[in-house]
A = this chain, B = another copy of it.
Amino acid sequence: MDTLSRAGLSGAAVNELREEILEGRLNQGERLSEVSLSTTLGVSRAPIREALLHLEQEGLVVSLPYKGASVVSLSPQDFLELSTLRIALEKLAWARAMERITPEAIADLNAIIGEMEFAVKSDLKAKLVRLDLDFHERVFIMADHSRLYTAWTAIKWQVALFLLARRKKVDDYHNIIVEEHAELIQAILNRHDPDFERLIELHIGSGYGRLNSAGAGSPAEHPAAEHPAAGSPAASVSSAPAAR
């Protein structure tokens, strides 16, 4: 469906493991032993190690030296991080995509919206998440910015986990997905819409609001600072340095 990324076995292991994580067959926080994975997937440890490194880069796996890897477990704090970073990346992506848009690209996006409408009618919830991701993926591709695309792939599958979690918790996804993405296409067409950045903040930030304070209306632009002092150890997901 997307990046076959690397060569042979390690790439196959990446796709297989990613699918199992997104599908939920591998639970969040579950330990990923290299030997058991190598026997399960029928390859040696070398490609498994490489695959785990790649998945760690995608944020689906966390690993510590001599302690091994586990499936990531995303906290509300992590979802907030994803939301804020994604807004920053998509603002740049849309700005560039607007400059590079072609009629065929517009048609492709509209085709995805068409599939969304069908998926909504047929009640294919999982498919909706795929289409949502696919829609934004195309925008990042249109932006024609290799490093921006790399940054997107570093959070893309975590965003997928976020969307899947949201779908389970609050069920208004199908009510808004078609309309919101249609609005985004409109923003592309009126090229110099000065409010498109606000539109993106709403599109992404509101999803965060809907997940956390289920039902609360205001999306909240920067939903309050969470204790800048007295840093809670909190076992953060990534290798971020402590903020003093």
Using CB atoms and an 8 Å cutoff, list the residues of chain A in contact with chain B: 3, 5-7, 46, 49-50, 53, 57, 59, 65-66, 81-82, 84-85, 88-89, 91-92, 95-96, 99-100, 102, 104-105, 141-151, 154-155, 222, 225, 228-229, 231, 236-241, 243-244
Work out how many copies of this chain go into the complex. Answer: 2
* Cα–Cα, bound, A88→B53 (Å): 26
In the complex the two chains form, is B150's CB within 8 Å of A239's CB? Answer: yes
Q: Which residue from B53, B66, B105 sits with its C-beta under 8 Å from A244?
A: B105
Cross-chain contact B244 with A102 (CB below 8 angstroms): yes
A222 vs B236: C-alpha distance when bound (angstroms) = 36
- A94 CB to closest chain B CB (Å) equals 11
Q: Which residue of B lies closest to A50 (CB)?
A: B53
CA distance A232 to B236 in the complex (A): 42
Cβ A85 vs Cβ B145 within 8 A: yes
Contact (Cβ within 8 A) A144 B243: yes
Q: A6-B65, A88-B88, A151-B154 are in contact. Are A243 and B146 (CB under 8 A)?
A: no
B146 touches A239 (CB 8 A): yes
Q: A237: which B residues are within 8 A, CB to CB?
A: 146
Q: CB distance A81 to B146 under 8 Å?
A: yes
Residue in B144, B147, B231 whose CB lies within 8 Å of A155: B147
Let me know if A84 and B88 touch, CB within 8 A: no
